[in-house]
Amino acid sequence: MRILAIVAGKYGMRIVEHIRRCAPPTWQVTAIPAPTGLPVVVDDPEEYLPTDLPPADLILFMAESDRAAQLLPALAVRTGARAVIAPIDHAAWVPLGLRGQLLRELRAMGVEIVFPEPFCALTEDGLGPVAAEFARHFGRPRLRVAVDPFSRILSEIAVERCSPCGSTHFAAEKARGMPAAEAVPRAGLICLHYPCLASMQPEQTESGVETLMHTSGKIFNAALTEALGRWEEDERG
């Protein structure tokens, strides 16, 4: 799979570098800086696109700019991309109204776009083949654990699907050796110390008003809880 990441500074590049490290060897991941100095309303997107854009199957939009998001339909045309993932780690980067506009425009072009909020909430459920292939490897964490039957210590935490930013591997390594009964929510807090890249701005989420950073911690805790439950079921036979 060919991935083109549109990035701005350390936020996007950290994700790109983690994806490169953990992606299947056949994937090609290219990162380009997001255009700057864009007007509030971009009338001619081609004016602001690089002339040497590589072909891509998937665009990852991490430009930290609602103005740059207006370029996504033109980027999809120029690269031949069949899917776009525009994570919402801060609501201001792709506001709700712009999300609806992009959804309509890209859908009319036959291009899928999804807005995981935050990025580590992404799963392959209901996605088309390109976005789903990415989400099988990166998104909502999926863990496998083993617990020492005598000490009840977490003896193993294997990462089967990791968050795009790399916090899953970080938290899993730190949680190994914890008492299983204490791992949740301690491990979720460790995840945020990576540090988490999601916003600390209070926003309306599915579970009420909270920050996206706290949402990401809850996502890791849920993954660890599920993994512990599967281990206990296996032990009972």
Write down which residue in 100, 135, 170 finishes a domain. Answer: 135
Domain identity same for 100 and 7: yes
Whether 196 and 164 have beta carbons less than 8 Å apart is answered as no
Its domain, for residue 45, covers: 2-135
Residue with tokens 């990035």: 7
Q: What are phi and psi of 145, to 5 degrees?
A: -125, 160
> Comparing C-alpha atoms, which of 86, 162, 85, 163 is closest to residue 131?
85
How does pLDDT run across 108-140, given as a tens digit for each residue? 999 999 999 999 999 999 999 999 999 999 999
- State pLDDT tens for residues 179-194: 999 999 888 888 877 7
Share of the chain above pLDDT 70, in %: 94
Q: Are residues 100 and 188 in the same domain?
A: no
148: CATH:
3.90.1010
CA distances from 207 to 84, 90, 168, 211, 215 (A): 26, 17, 22, 11, 9
Same domain? 146 vs 103: no
Examine the domain organization and report whether 113 and 162 are in the same domain.
no
The answer to whether 199 and 89 are in contact (CB under 8 A) is: yes
Q: Could you give the residue ranges of the DSSP H alpha helices within 136-211?
A: 167-175, 183-192
Residue that terminates a domain, selected from 86, 112, 135:
135
Number of domains making up the chain: 2
pTM of the predicted structure, to 2 decimals? 0.92
Last residue of a domain, one of 83, 118, 135: 135
